[in-house]
Amino acid sequence: MQRRSRLPIGLALVTAVCAGALYVGTVAPGSSVAGTTATPGCVRGSWVANTAEANRFIQRIFSSPANLRVQRGALSATFADGKLTYGGYSIVLVGGGGGSDEMTIKNTIDLIAKAPYRVAGDRLILSAGKYKRHYVSVVLSLGGHSLPSKRPPDLVTTMPGGSVPLTCSGNTLRWKMPLPLGSAGTWLTFRRDR
């Protein structure tokens, strides 16, 4: 009986976690990082945020009993032809209590957001875009035993446009990623990929 009550909660947590992971919207003006500014010429090409940055972002958004974290994967951002493509493929999220009688969750997901962009001073201005979430695999376990699990359907939704602060210097790009529910956002650091 107890196992059945935990399964829907676990799946609901995972679905909620991944539903808003790449929301890019309006953030209330906040402090920026001093000493660097962004220029349209700087914000181009491909950038990568490592697993530690991706994990910090996921944990900042989703504090939950499942304690989801990024086990493997990175976030990337590509600025090309006036469009920003942001997210990651095959990001592995794991969570759970870790005890022998606790539910554990392991998901492999693709999270991709695309939107037209421009840079004005130290702001990244995004027009309305599209967000897609795709579950590659979903594995739920309880007491070391796998539970029947079904991948949630793909989610494709429209993201509102917005403006976020950013800085760029050499091979480092930082921008303040919005967080759901109107929170102040969190700075993420990307390194130039190519």
Q: How does pLDDT run across 141-189, given as a tens digit for each residue? A: 888 788 888 889 999 999 888 898 999 888 999 988 876 655 667 889 9
The whole-number pLDDT of residue 169 equals 85
Asked if pLDDT for residue 31 goes beyond 90, the answer is no
- Residue that is written with structure tokens 């209590």 in the block: 97
The whole-number pLDDT of residue 142 equals 87
DSSP 38-60: --TTTS-EEEEE-HHHHHHHHHH
Q: Which residues pair with 42 in a beta bridge?
A: none
On average, the pLDDT of the chain sits at 77
What is the spatial distance between Cα 126 and Cα 22, in angstroms, rounded to a whole number?
13
Most confident of 4-8, 12-16, 31-35, 159-163: 159-163
Q: How confident is the model at residue 40 (pLDDT cuts 50, 70, 90)?
A: low
Q: How confident is the model at residue 10 (pLDDT cuts 50, 70, 90)?
A: very low
Asked if pLDDT for residue 39 goes beyond 90, the answer is no
The residue extents of the domains of the chain are 2-192
What is the spatial distance between Cα 93 and Cα 14, in angstroms, rounded to a whole number?
9
